[in-house]
Amino acid sequence: MADIVLCTVNARYQHAAFGLRCLRANLGELRERSELVEFDGSIGPSEVVEQLLARRPRIIGLGVYVWNVAIMSEVVELLAKLAPEVVTVLGGPEVSHELEAQPWTERAHAVVQGEGEWHFRALCDEVLAGRPLPRRIFPAQRGALDRLALPYDEYTDDDLAHRVLYVEASRGCPYSCEFCLSALDERVRPFSLDRLLEALKRLLDRGARHFKFVDRTFNLDLEASVRLLEFFLAEWRPGCFLHFEMVPDRFPPVLREVVARFPRGTLQLEVGIQTFDSEVSKRISRPLDVGKVEDNLRFLVAAGVHVHADLIAGLPGESLEQFARGFDRLLALGPAEIQVGVLKRLRGAPISRHTDPLGMLYATRAPYEVLRTSAIGFPELQHLKRFATLWEAVGNSGNFARTLPLLVEGPSAFAAFSALVRRVTEREGRAHRLSLLGLMEHVLDHLVERGVAEELVRERLLADYRAGGRHEVPGFLRGGSKPSRAARFDARQRRHSDREP
């Protein structure tokens, strides 16, 4: 039983609810009267409510994000009906802005906007003392980070064994990228580096090996970022893997030198390119020195860094042709992953200023993806969504490492891969939830139809298939020619018709 239950639904099991751990760490003497409960997207709202109420709490704090707002809204409705005496408190990015457009939030007793540590503890004190809440909406408040307890001791041994551990060295962002909620921050506030390093050392000693820093601009303060990287080099343990989000045009020699000393493949850097078009980047308040970006990416790839680069489709005023050129340019630089995302209008993000002038139409339900713009139509954006899905399965998964060069050959890698996307969509009616073997069959047929030597394609696909530890040879990868997937489908249809009376 717990008086205070902190709960959220994570996108995946291996994700850890960092924000809730920050709240619990800062409850003071109330911490022992609290419990953290996490679910993933496989659970339904009634099961969430059942498990929460079984703990007989007096306060339930719910973390609401773009990926779980649908289920959380239902959880709030059920709690209001089944246990109106339990004080329900909402927090998280999804309820920190535009509450007037979310009437379901009115069923909660309180909403804490922005950083929750400053209000949530005081709110719990009032409720547990039997006093009424002074207000229902607690507006965003930012305080000195050195007053906060760090949350890293809240990670359990099970978390260390099975989950990604989120870490932050600072909060805020000095840039004004309009698609991002960090554009609303006024400045960057660092945590005490001495305190953070002590906490990281404890995690390493307990067996933690995978760390994901959530700082928007890890390499903004070069002295601090170099010191952190030097700490990990000095404390290096087998199996360590680090993830940082970095500004792509800020890699001076002092940072390059320390990055190059990490074992190959143990450092993952997320670099948000978003667009290579200078006019589009200015429009969304994200100026980049493209020459520096390209030079830095070449260095990072050569140094064995796992580069995860982001592009956003559907940005204001960017056409399909402009996006395609950017994709080709980025792929030529050799990053390990290119994440193609479709623009989302996050609640409160300044990107909304372009809605009317540039014909931006968004879905009304999470994740609020753009449906069309003045520069790109609905059918083109639908194609880009399917492109992103198949690129994740083929280009980023590692399952097609040897075959992928054949799929992107030609004047435009984007155009070449788009041909596969269209082929799969025509035959499957979708681009998601396809088996590995099914995808490999499509790739084989597609490349052979394009004129690539069948034996070469089989050889590459079989090598990719066996690279995953598989030893059998699927029938369609054995020697000898075979009818195409379409021909086999037609033959099955004919056999079925022959059996009909």
Quote the pLDDT of residue 261: 96
CATH architecture of the domain formed by 4-138: 3-Layer(aba) Sandwich (3.40)
Rounded to two decimals, the pTM is 0.89
Q: What does DSSP assign to residue 315?
A: -
Task: In whole angstroms, give the CA distance from residue 246 to residue 213.
Answer: 10
Q: pLDDT > 70: what percent of the chain? A: 95
Residue 153, pLDDT score: 96
Taking only the tens place, the pLDDT of each residue in 290-307 is 999 999 999 999 999 999
- Answer whether 4-138 and 164-376 agree in fold: no
Pick the more confident residue, 130 or 1: 130
Among 140-144, 230-234, 408-412, the minimum mean pLDDT is found in 140-144
Give the pLDDT of residue 193. Answer: 95
| pLDDT at position 404 over 80 | yes
**Which residues have a Cβ under 8 Å from the Cβ of 98 and sit 6 or more positions away?**
347, 348
Confidence of residue 489 (pLDDT cuts 50, 70, 90): low
pLDDT at 501 over 50: no
Residue-range domain boundaries for the chain: 4-138, 164-376, 379-501
Q: What is the pLDDT of residue 488?
A: 52
The pLDDT tens digits for 443-470 are: 999 999 999 999 999 999 999 999 988 8
The half-sphere exposure of 15 on its side-chain side, counting CA atoms within 13 A, is: 15
Dump pLDDT digits (tens) for 111-145.
999 999 989 999 999 999 999 998 999 998 888 89
Cβ(271)–Cβ(309) under 8 Å? yes
Domain 164-376, second-level architecture? Alpha-Beta Horseshoe (3.80)
Q: What pLDDT score does 495 carry? A: 43
pLDDT given at position 140: 87
As beta bridge partners, residue 39 has 9
DSSP code of 291?
H
Amino acid 446: pLDDT: 97
Contact 64, 10 (CB under 8 A): no
Q: Indicate the range of 110-114, 258-262, 344-348, 381-385 predicted with least confidence.
A: 344-348
Task: Indicate if the pLDDT at residue 319 is higher than 90.
Answer: yes
